[in-house]
A = this chain, B = another copy of it.
């Protein structure tokens, strides 16, 4: 059983983030010591890490709440979870695609840029002026 500081440290989040997750219902309110201090179980620490990892792969706290609900919903199947993961995957793929297009456009422009020309002849500015899109 850990106090909040140690649990936060092990989970890799701040103490305040822990209390915030609790308020948001992502982390069950833990038992308290006689002094009122929160006492966390190893399971709670795993939960914190779960939240953090899910966040790291792009889920919002709301998404994570849904996932956690599915986790304990007897009527939920694995495919429910997979659907959410796939939706997130789709979002990420879209972003990657747009970034790749931006990347190639910008790379093309920087490559085309001569070292020392007046701005008036700059191919990058030219390109940005021509197709605002990317």
Contact = CB atoms under 8 A, between A and B. Distances in A.
A132 interface: yes
A77 interface: yes
Contacts of A33: none
A134 interface: yes
Given A77-B118, A78-B119, A122-B81, A103 B93 contact: yes
Interface string A56-98: 1110000000010011010011111110011011001111101
Interface in A39-63: 43, 46-47, 49-50, 53-54, 56-58
Secondary structure dominating the interface of A: helix
Contact of A85 (B80, B95, B109, B114): B109
B57 A95 contact: yes
A86 to B, nearest CB: 5
A53 B4 CA distance: 41
A16 interface: no
Given A50-B129, A57-B95, A71-B122, 15 more contacts: A43-B132, A53-B102, A56-B98, A57-B106, A58-B95, A58-B102, A70-B128, A73-B119, A78-B113, A81-B119, A85-B109, A86-B110, A89-B107, A92-B102, A96-B99
